[in-house]
Structure 1
Amino acid sequence: MFNNKIIGHDFQKGILKRAANENLVSHSYLFSGSDGIGKKLVANEFAKLINCKSRGSVDSANLDSAACVCGSCAKIDKGIHPDVIYVQFEGVKSIKVEQIREGVEERLFLKSFEGKFKVVIVDEAERMSNGAQNAFLKTLEEPPPNSVIILITSNPDSLLPTIRSRCQLVRFNTLAEELILEELKSRGDLSSEDAIVCSKLSNGSLGRALMMDSDLIGWRKELIQYLMHLKPDSAMSIIGLAEYMPLTSDPEDMERMTLAFEFISLWLRDLMLIKTDSDKKGITNVDLIESSMQIAEKWDLDNILDKMGALEKTRNDIYNMNANKQLSFENLFIRLAS
């Protein structure tokens, strides 16, 4: 009984389903894995599974939880179940002790209203400060009866070893590129070519893939094509491309700049793969493979590695040294064009 629309993670879903069916539900879990791969969706389905009013009926073993119409599952889907608590501190870099006590502990120790289990799902648990983690440790050591705590993180090493040791680890892997491509095609929001490129840019994260649209895929293509035709002695072209980049400190511009660095890095990696006659399946920018092969013929491996080094230096200068963005990009594009 798991929503069949959650793609992948069959092994992890099987572990959780078996724990529920055999009454071996742990009091605390640590869901670990990359962002956007479905950890929170699985946590939500697990909360539905252990509190489902239909579980144990004749047909429940084969029941898709999305089709379950019991009151408990319906409330959890709507986010209004009184015994399933979602904890997410948006816009907070570091979760403090007081926030954990008010958002988790005080609510966790309240008596259940209607569910068999009181479930607390803490998203981005890695943002808890050391003080908050230490305060939370006592709750993990002495949880109230019939309670389940699910910590979700993309960076388990940021959690204290004592926190990790008291949770049952469920490690989620990135999704296969083929699964993401199939899902993108089924949604029909992208052309077939854009869906293929998007699946390759996703890094195994469906959430990341769904954040990309045809405009972003097109912007990536324009950026790389511009770099392909850039001449080191064309100052106007270099300045023009630098001005084309997102240069403000606005969050949207900063996110777009991060993607620009990634897109350029992946393109240089494509050139490396072409140059070394590696498996062409690893190429990301499949819509630019012919023009990339022409570029790869002109550059040697040392030249490509030098450009990769220049890219990383520029990234470090902007993010860590507070360098002037436009001047940094101009210097980078001179290196990439030479």
Structure 2
Amino acid sequence: MAFRQIIGHRTALELAARALVRGSLPPSLLFAGPEGVGKGLVAQGIAQAMNCLNPRMGSGSDTIAIDGCGICSVCSRIDRGVFPDFIVVKPTETGSKNIESKTGSIKIDQLRPVFDQAAYRPFEARRRVVVIDQAEMMAAPAQSAFLKNLEEPPTSTQFILVTSRPDMLLVTVRSRCPQLRFGFLTVDEIVDVLCRNEGLEEKVSRAAAATSGGSVGRALKIATGEFSTSRDAALEFLDVISSARDVRAKISGAKAFVVAKGKRRTPAADREELRLRLESMSALLRDIEAVTAGASIPLVNADVSGKIRKIAKEFSGVRSRLGFSIVHQAIDAVDRNGSPKVVADWVASRL
């Protein structure tokens, strides 16, 4: 995707474009920021601007110094993921070299052929671009191997590490990769992405964006219904907590809130699902607070307003505001690889 087609992150785009024009782009970069905000798209935009057959140069009021045309054979193949000199490495399921997964790992066996290829000139491109997606999922041996390549970077290859958890990378890896920070998108920016790129209705997009926490990826899950099971679980958990008379009853409700492990589930998958459920709970608590305060604002979860009003009868405004803080502390704990059961029990005991 060309820079001009990317919504948000204007500062990051301008910095990258200026560095490309000046020839000062570092050989390795670290894109750090929340999940689902478009870091990978910016990496793709760099690959296009760097190798486009007919690059667009900025002029006048255009603050993007250089951009891919988006239509030449190089740009179109990068968009489709079939350009030989644009390589994206992603985590794979444990025990598999081919099945991509958001909960697997990046193993050294995946990186060795990439490093071997990086030692030679690109097939077609002026400069090869290698993107390590979810770089925090690199196993320790993979990070060590990557570090060796950073110490003597190949002149014809650009490395870009994309991560939402830079703290999980080796300090030595982080120190050799200048960091470009990405923030959350605004509600309007997310609505624009969902309407323009996904063809969703504005009403659906806006409702999803309001509960997405600034992440397009999360908003898309909400808009397409993948979030509904998480919200149902959060609603049931709040219902149990609101009517429970002691801590034991609350913690009993937490058992159903934590995803049961299946044969193909991993701890990372359980944490991701719990995170989605906690985010759903956060949005529900906002609505509960609005009801307890008697506010006339529309509810984000208006389709379950009856259940929300029932739970709100047991919640004071102070309790819902405290609950909002507790849930966000729990999300932070999940992001730090906390045990789903321990986190859910803690939430139950505090609410």
Instruction: Give the counterpart of 1:89 among 88, 91, 94.
Output: 91
TM-score, normalising length from structure 2? Answer: 0.71
Where do residues 293-304 of structure 1 align in structure 2 (5 Å cutoff)? 296=312, 299-300=315-316, 303-304=319-320
Instruction: Give the counterpart of 1:159 among 159, 166, 169.
Output: 169
**Equivalent residues of 1:2, 1:13 under 8 A apart:** no
CA distance in 1, matches of 2:300, 2:48: 38
Residue number in structure 1 paired with 2:143: 133
Residue number in structure 1 paired with 2:178: 168
Residue number in structure 1 paired with 2:75: 73
Residue number in structure 2 paired with 1:320: 339
**Equivalent residues of 1:87, 1:103 under 8 A apart:** no
CA distance in 1, matches of 2:328, 2:164: 26
| CA spacing shift, 1:184–1:56, aligned 2, 3 Å | closer
Residue number in structure 2 paired with 1:48: 48
CA distance in 1, matches of 2:339, 2:173: 31
- Listed as ranges, the gaps of 5+ residues in structure 2 are 95-103, 245-249
CA distance in 1, matches of 2:154, 2:148: 11
**Greater shift after overlay, 126-135 or 272-281?**
272-281
Q: Percent identity?
A: 30
Instruction: Give the counterpart of 2:116 among 87, 102, 106.
Output: 106
CA distance in 2, matches of 1:307, 1:157: 25
The alignment status of 1:189 with 2:208, answered yes or no, reads no
Shift of 1:139: 0.9
**Greater shift after overlay, 297-306 or 81-90?**
297-306
Shift of 1:297: 6.4
Alignment RMSD: 4.6
- Listed as ranges, the gaps of 5+ residues in structure 1 are none
- CA deviations on 1:110-155 (whole Å, 9 max, x unpaired) are 2222211122111111112233222221211111223211111111
CA distance in 1, matches of 2:117, 2:238: 57
The alignment status of 1:260 with 2:277, answered yes or no, reads yes
Query: Counterpart of 1:10 in structure 2: which amino acid?
Result: R
CA distance in 1, matches of 2:17, 2:329: 44
| CA spacing shift, 1:258–1:155, aligned 2, 3 Å | closer
The alignment status of 1:211 with 2:206, answered yes or no, reads no
Aligned residues, how many?
A: 318
Where do residues 59-70 of structure 1 align in structure 2 (5 Å cutoff)? 65=68, 67-69=70-72
TM-score, normalising length from structure 1? Answer: 0.73
CA distance in 2, matches of 1:307, 1:146: 49
Shift of 1:203: 1.3
**Equivalent residues of 1:94, 1:129 under 8 A apart:** yes
Shift of 1:30: 0.7
| CA spacing shift, 1:215–1:111, aligned 2, 3 Å | closer
- CA deviations on 1:176-218 (whole Å, 9 max, x unpaired) are 11211233344453571x4333102211111121122354566
SS of corresponding position for 1:30: strand
CA distance in 1, matches of 2:195, 2:69: 21
